């Protein structure tokens, strides 16, 4: 089965930030779930590796929620 972009990104977020399966991804942002600078870097690296593109520093800085990261990934595909 091929995962869609949102499901793949959700898997990455749940793994890196330890988001519980019953938690809604819409609520996941830099203000929640232990999202600190190390977690942010780990998310950026995981997303870049999975989707095979490099973010600009501006994109990486702006990617501060699940939704903004999803929008960014979709804009690069």
Q: Which residues contact 42 (CB under 8 A, 6 or more apart)?
A: 16
Checking if the pLDDT of 30 tops 90, the result is no
pLDDT tens profile 37-64: 999 999 999 999 999 999 999 999 999 9
pLDDT at site 2: 53
pTM for the structure as a whole: 0.88
Q: How many domains does the chain have?
A: 1
Torsion angle, alpha carbons of 15, 42, 34, 2, to 10? -30
State the number of CA atoms in the 13 A half-sphere of 22 facing the CB.
0
Domain with 65 in it: 5-16+25-76
Give me the CATH number covering residue 41. Answer: 1.10.1200.10
């Amino acid at each position: 089965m091929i995962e869609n972009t949102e499901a793949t990104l959700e898997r990455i977020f749940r793994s890196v930030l330890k988001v519980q399966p019953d938690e809604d991804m819409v609520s996941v942002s830099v203000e929640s779930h232990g999202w600190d600078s190390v977690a942010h870097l780990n998310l950026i690296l995981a997303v870049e590796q999975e989707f095979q593109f490099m973010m600009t520093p501006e994109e990486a800085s702006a990617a501060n929620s699940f939704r903004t990261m999803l929008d960014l990934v979709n804009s690069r595909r």
